[in-house]
Amino acid sequence: MPSALSIGQATREYGEDLVLTDPLTGLGNTHRFYDKVNRLIAERADDPAPFAIGVLDLDGFKPINDLFGRAAGDEILHQVAMRLRAAMDEHSTVTRIGADEFAFLCPMVFSEDTIAEKARMLIEILSAPYDVGHRTARLSASAGCSLFYSEEDTTDLLLSKAETALYQAKRSGRGIVVVYTREMEEAAKRLTRIEQALRRAVAAGEVEPHFQPIIDLTTRRTVGFETLARWTDRDLGVVSPATFIPIAEERGIIGQLSQLVLRKAVEAARDWPEDLFLSFNLSPSQLVDHNTGLQILAILERTGFNPRRLEIEITETGLMSDPASAEKIVNDLRRMGIRVSLDDFGTGQSSLGRLRDFQFDKLKIDRAFVSSILTDRPSEHIIRAILAMCQGLGMDVVAEGIEEEAQAERLVEFGCAGGQGYLFGKPCDADETRALLRGTGENRRRAAG
């Protein structure tokens, strides 16, 4: 008969095991992962032989969860856990550390190449179909890995490095493996510096709108302006939108940034002639935020700007993240009298069916086709096809990235009505745009006189 002491010890061990176990998958949880890594670091304190950890994140799990339901999502996570556990050797451990995030520890892996190969193998295992009732689902995964080299590498630091690598992997696409390097550390620090400076700049209202003319290609008359965000930091200097816009998008600042720039843009555009419209870009994340339409309307009401003079540009990529939400926002905007334009057409992943499902007022031909219109027959045929399609759908068209007179003439020949690009003007700030419009108005008056 077991003693009371042994029963008590078994009870304590069972309780401790529960604390360290993820109840859904049966894998260890974050506490178990930390316990395992901490013990391994302590064992190798005197002779710090390398070992590796990795973090796997399921790509596209949320849409699958939304489509099949919570119970099916839990079943998929259970199947993921079974596959990962079966793929571990006798020395390695896998744990669940987030909703759809798993961490693995490989004590006998000593090099970057080996852990990268291990992670790629795990991703391949996870890419096989999952049984969900009478249906099947597919998903992929991304992985970030890091290696222990010295006693300075704590568990927190190793996990932080792996998460940084994972972040880089997910930015690069799906099914990607990235192993942490010192160059990534410097890049991550720079991104953090830019993020903190951007947060301060948005709070202080230091990001400014610049305006690039959109013209009637036949008459060469300016019909509107596209708003482009510009930022000069007191320490960083001029920061390219190609740098700070993705950071704002990824770090959750894009909403505040967009509202700031839109407010400043419509305040400037109030003084323009009434026949000029203002075009403004929405980010993909704003197309999944159901408050976007209300936020835009609130800005227009506060500034007294006519909604019929505003045109909102969205991209094909933005439509793909949550088509139902995007459709609702597009319909809300159009009910306000705001025109909606599909930007960068031809470079995203959307199908032609999107043009039927969504009511767009305008389509913008991507600069990639315009830049090669004089030398590349396929680009020429694609532009002709887009123009014919838009004519049939009753949509206006603007060609972007026009830099040469010959490009503009060819577009007019094809029947393209609108154009935009450095040939007609670079983006200017509000004061320069106002001066440009005063000069244009004076020229008009002289011509009329």
Q: What is the DSSP letter of 143?
A: E
Q: Which residues pair with 418 in a beta bridge?
A: 216, 398
Residue 414 tokens, joined: 């094809």
Question: 200 near 399, Cβ under 8 Å?
Answer: no
User: How many Å apart are CA 71 and CA 69, to the nearest integer?
Assistant: 6
Distance CA 312, CA 326 (A): 12
Distance, in Å, from the CA atom of 223 to the CA atom of 274, rounded to the nearest integer, reads 10
Q: Parallel, antiparallel, or unpaired for β 101-106 and 51-59?
A: antiparallel
**Burial class, 267, CB count within 10 angstroms (exposed 0-12 / middle 13-18 / buried 19+):** middle
Structure-token pair, residue 432: 């320069």
Residue 402's nearest CA partner among 379, 418, 385 is 418
Residue pair 222/433 in contact (Cβ under 8 Å)? The answer is no
95 and 22 in contact (C-beta within 8 Å)?
Answer: yes
Sign of the torsion formed by the C-alpha atoms of 390, 367, 333 and 64: positive
Q: Please calculate the CA angle 349-352-358 and round it to the nearest 5 degrees.
A: 95
> What is the C-alpha to C-alpha distance for residues 445 and 449, in angstroms, rounded to an integer?
6
Expressed in percent and rounded to 5, the helix, strand and coil fractions of the chain are: 50, 20, 30
Query: Please, which residues have CB within 8 angstroms of residue 269's CB and are 6 or more apart in sequence?
Result: 225, 276, 278, 305, 309
Q: Which sign, positive or negative, has the C-alpha torsion 154, 160, 163, 169?
A: negative
Active-site residues, by number, are: 400
Q: Compute and round to an integer the Cα radius of gyration of the chain.
A: 28
Q: Which tokens hold the place of 88? A: 């571990």
